[in-house]
Structure 1
Amino acid sequence: MKASVQLRDQREARLRQQMKNTPMRPLPPFQLTSWNHFVDEEVKPPELTAGSPPAADRKKDQTALAYHRHLRMVPTDAMTHMQNMVVEAVHLNSGRREGLMDQVIDGPAGTGKTCLLRAVGRAAQKEIEAATRGRQPNHIPVVHITTPADPESKTNWIWEIASYLGLNPEPRNIAEVLEMRRHPDLTLPVNYILETTQTRLLLIDDINRASPAQLADVLPYFDYLRDKLGISLLFCGTGASHLIHQARIQAQDAALVSEENRLRLQQAGRSTTPTDSPSPTALLPVTWLHPLPWTPRTPKPSGKYWQASKPTCACTSSRNTL
């Protein structure tokens, strides 16, 4: 534990230096320090006084630029429902031994899946911290990772979690960066930290970068985190539901259950229609993000026309009962 704290301090020092050298570049929230900064960040619109200069003269206004750099989701009933659903799933998974269930965010590209994923993670962490009377020093309620560049090996997935937790050692020089070496297996320290820091939610983004065969190799480890440590998992990516279902079939989980169910029904003399066995697409709660069409140009009462709005997204959930 002491070594992991020292590695984390070294990483945070490097991140602070990086932020000092490049203050205009926000850090991705795939590390604990930057994620906590993302959770605590309050983006307020700048105050514009009456008779303010036109937009061309506001390019030097750093307050306005800092506000417009942030892409925030507009609060809607669907977004609030999704946040409440995942937070409820986190509480249920943490308080029961059986029936733990993952969640999936799916939809076409450009519909705001990553924004919704992080908004859900932020809402979950704030509620967990509110229940524990603030942020505790040895408490990491949410872990946010992305699919590794090489998702072939399970070790690379665990390395992403270790990078978030600050467990992987920093390279000492450029020679170590250029050296072709395999990542060490950090499964035991990662499991120890996740258990001792009471992690409740694991966000996995860009799952579409992995193939079903690659997911089939790492899903048993995610199942271990869910069943042993009570960690809720939220997958996100275009086609995420199909990828996970196919990975389950390749892992011979859903296919084996469906075949055994068909044989039992056949022996009992019942009809074995496709509805008798649950399909893989019905085993996972999925939140779909649909692109909204352009709004029609309806005339105003004054005879002028409304400006067509930019396409955004809407969320719907299927099988979201917990």
Structure 2
Amino acid sequence: MTTPLDPHLFVIFGGTGDLAARKLLPALHELITVGGADAKVLAVGRKALDDEAYRHWATTHLAEQGYVDLSWVDRCHYQSLGSDSDAYEALATRVAELEADGRTTGNRVFYLALPPAAFTPTIAGLGRVGLPTSDGWVRLVVEKPFGTNGATAEALGDAVHECFSEEQVYRIDHFLGKEAVQNLLALRFANPLFETAWNRDRVARIEVTVAESIGVDGRADYYDRSGVVRDMLQNHLTQLLALVTMEPPGDFAPESIRSEKVKALGAVPPLTHGDMTYAGYVGYADLDGVSTESRTATYARADMRVSSWRWEGVPFVLRSGKHMPERETR
């Protein structure tokens, strides 16, 4: 049985972006229409829209994906952030207005569906106007990538902790929300048949493939600075690799699972140039936002191994690409 969600205000920074249209709004649709979640939604963005214009935008994108019964979209509101110096003060006022009826009891989710460069100023803006503190619970959700290397990840962590406590922070890889991924731990550890065969004596090779039929139209400016490795391999596929290769945790508490995943990844030797294959799809270089000197890959394959007693000698292949002949995850 699913635990009912507390009433809350769900604030989406990047509310008119690709992630909001393809992932967050469909997820909210399911939570509200199927799960019965009592939530108000406040989309925040740079576009000059009002509530009705945003509801039309959201309805259009949901309908294009086959969703029906969209009456819940009336719960959606929109706040244009703009570049004014008092933009976050205006946001705080709007949050207070939406919470004035007492229905959400001060519970707030701030979801940063934004380019990584916008994380730090957005978090600082929230902190400056006191939004991380309320009479209810407050959660900050930060989408991947969390920095581009160790130093930038630590700097972002410091910026987050200046305004939010660690208990309030959720670092999210939305790929892990897929049902098949969610079921992977149960498949492995709750089924003795699979767990006893889950090793080098029974498995000859493991391949993880995420092929997307769509290109990067509409987000080429972001994608050209990240590429397929940062967009897919170092987060989505690496998380799957960890779930597949980790040892059984002592319990299923988040800290225990995270510890075993870290150990599993620590057993992966560093990759060399010879372990990697890169390619790009025809037409990518002509997209608006792509540098004329771009060498960004839209397809990558990593040949890996895991130096542990369970997986020594088993080849691992991670691959992902955009604009592939067909969409496939396996």
What TM-score do you get using the length of structure 1 for normalisation?
Answer: 0.30
The structure that has the greater radius of gyration is 1
User: More relative contact order in 1 or in 2 (CA 8 Å, sep 6+)?
Assistant: 1
Of Structure 1 and Structure 2, the greater strand share is in 2
Of Structure 1 and Structure 2, the greater helix share is in 1
